[in-house]
Structure 1
């Protein structure tokens, strides 16, 4: 039985109320060496609640209004429901209220998270090595809620001397099946184990895990713990924060819509990466939820997925455009320059031609109401295309809505074999952006509002 995998975890009593300027490593060392306790040994891992680090590092701030403190610590709002906000804080952590805590601190003050929890963990580790001569791992913990799961748990927000991730990819399971996606969040598992004995209101901010020395990195040359990465593969808890490009669940509730609208930018340079037709069809499904008059469905989307179909259309449109420019009296040099500038559609690996159909429209005895009827349908078409562009952005696809097909509708219908009552409403270039678009120019919404 002694050979079975096992570990022991206990809370460390004797940590006093922490004040600004206190040396947490010395407080832990003093508590760990008290009579009757097992002390600390090489390979132990300490779970340290972030609150005591916040206090020691002077992250206690006056805040009669906690909301203002949350605002100051918020990089991005992910989701909001009533007064509750799930936000991204400067550490890249997605959590409630940016980690701003009004508990266990005097009235009128709040606790902010440590500015650099990995650095805090490194200082504690170095201090314990200097004081007690032990090589331990340190995990700084805080309490998180989790999407799709009820209840709270402690997770790692800082770490030193610990392999925070255990990458099992490339190995096999007990049945010989390859492991292609398994990366275990070891530091989070340690944080949760420590929380089982620390408790939320027991006044025990530090826990010790013994028996898992394989997760503790070597002490290296005995120095340099103040430098990130000084311990070889000691990468800190920042490695647990998924980068935005790989995060499939980055957005929340209504903020997802606002974020997608913000992400929608006109892209004029595309990579050669093929476009997933399924993603485009999902965007079409979003497009056709737009409002439309008389319960109609005035949208049609022609997907040009083959290079041949795109080439035929663009060649025909170019000839039509050149003929128009010649008719307008432009020189051949000017025509060539304009055509080159207008070649954004040729640079995209995928084209979509949205079309308007007037099925279900009403006919009136006077031209004024008939014109208004068509305008209603055109507005509905625009709403559908906007839905389409936003949904493409949600699929991480860039797009450019170009009006050119509207100037040669007969040519487009002829080349694509479309019915005579389908009106092309421009063309949408779709693909992966080759370069990041420039920062969006800020616009004051109040400049576009009139109140009566």
Structure 2
């Protein structure tokens, strides 16, 4: 039985690349011995140079801004961003190394197309069928240090999907998809080096990785599958700004554990006198939700009739509560005033209660933001505050628990509408 092996070496003799150079011809001249089945690893910098992706160094920050479509994380001057190519990396890939003084390089506009052009050129010049990978240097979440990865590819199976197979012990492989193109890029980096002036490498002996139709764009994880799409502070801001009042939900059930995680976030809110004024009643069964909402509806109808409202007007108002009735999960935040100070003075006692109300609101806001972070929609509806006695009776709550509305929770039935822009300066007074 033969043992798998391969060779990798750097290509010597590559000249300094200038805008407009034909990279395929330069490679063919430096490596005329290329064979079909080889994989060519080309540093993105020389591709960028050949394609004229050069800007003045004093425009670097502007270039980063221009190449950025989304800021993922920011720490001081360092920015991790998603760039125009869909890659998440530092400074959008704008690079000041291995370029003439006073200039910086942008990444190739379409690295997959660049790889395909080099491959086609080598086929014409040398009559060989090789794979081509355009590489760039990346940092990685969870890991120190840098490594080369594939940002462009042609003629290479960039991913090796092993799902559905078994390992050496017969265990099923259910999640194993190997990033073959990235592994090849890293292998080439071992011989190219960062400062050796050797921008091209060849891997031989792995002809099985060649194949048409794949591109490096397939290595970019889709947003829906990316659990680490934002940095920590950015994720907090995202959850705050993306929180919406959701009034229509799908029938998909809500994970009770997700709601409890949101409660854990809620009870970190500030409160007076080191108290804990929050209580959350979680209505996880349809029976509990229906009993509460039916009792609240009956109490509301009775109040409206006492106010002289017409039956048509009452029906319209009752329909406004459908957001609660249609939600697959309800939470009733309550305020308790354990630990409140009793001053025996009307103004001070009223201020004390206000402090507890504010603290409860802070807890509910934490709760709503945490639900958004769990990708759950919510609507905080104040109706329980108008019939607290009814709510306490139906839910069998202590007399000193004040229901502070109800929160409808579920998976949004449609994407949220764009939020109306609010300029912060309209809400700020500086003294």
In structure 2, what is the Cα distance between the partners aligned to 1:311 and 1:211? 68
How many angstroms does 1:5 deviate by? 0.6
Q: Which region of structure 1 is more displaced relative to structure 2, 284-293 or 59-68?
A: 59-68
Q: Which runs of 5+ in 1 are unaligned?
A: 34-38, 218-230
Residue in structure 1 matching 2:192, options 185, 188, 198: 198
**CA displacement 1:168-213 (0-9 Å, x = unmatched):** 1111111111111111111110110010011001111111111111
Q: SS state of the match for residue 375, structure 2? A: coil
Cα distance in 1 for partners of 2:147, 2:330 equals 47
Offset at 1:431?
Answer: 1.4
Secondary structure at 2:72's aligned position in 1?
Answer: strand
DSSP-derived class of the 2:263 partner: helix
String of CA shifts for 1:5-60, please: whole Å, max 9, x gaps. 11111111222111222222222122111xxxxx1111111111111111122211
Match of 1:228 in 2: none
2:133 pairs with 120, 135, 139, which one?
A: 139
Equivalent in the alignment of 2:23? 24
1:66-145 mapped onto 2 (5 Å cutoff) = 66-145=60-139
Q: Helix, strand or coil for the counterpart of 1:64? A: helix
Q: Does the 8 Å CA contact 1:10/1:194 hold for their aligned counterparts?
A: yes
Contact 1:353/1:426, CA 8 A, preserved across alignment: yes
- The C-alpha deviation readout for 1:391-410, integer Å capped at 9, x for no partner, is 11111111111111111111
Contact 1:313–1:416 (CA under 8 A) maintained in structure 2: yes
Which 5+ residue runs of structure 2 have no aligned equivalent?
A: none
Given the alignment of the two structures, is residue 180 of structure 1 paired with residue 170 of structure 2, yes or no? no
Shift of 1:235: 2.8
TM-score (norm 1): 0.92
Q: Give the structure 2 partner of residue 377 of structure 1.
A: 356
SS in 1 for 2:68: coil
Contact 1:14 1:31 in 2 (8 A): yes
Rate the CA distance shift 1:360–1:119 in 2: closer, same or farther, 3 A: same
- Partner residue, 2:220: 241
CA distance in 1, matches of 2:105, 2:333: 53
Following the alignment from structure 1 to structure 2, what is the Cα–Cα distance between the partners of residues 296 and 257? 25
Other-structure match for 1:222: none
Q: What is the TM-score with the length of structure 2 in the denominator?
A: 0.97
Quick check: 1:298–1:357 contact (8 Å CA) kept in 2? yes
Please show how residues 27-426 of structure 1 align to structure 2 within 5 Å: 27-33=26-32, 39-217=33-211, 231=212, 234-426=213-405
Question: What secondary structure, in the 3-state scheme, does the structure 2 residue paired with 1:192 have?
Answer: helix
Residues 57 and 96, structure 2, Cα contact 8 Å, conserved in 1? no
CA RMSD of aligned residues (A): 1.4
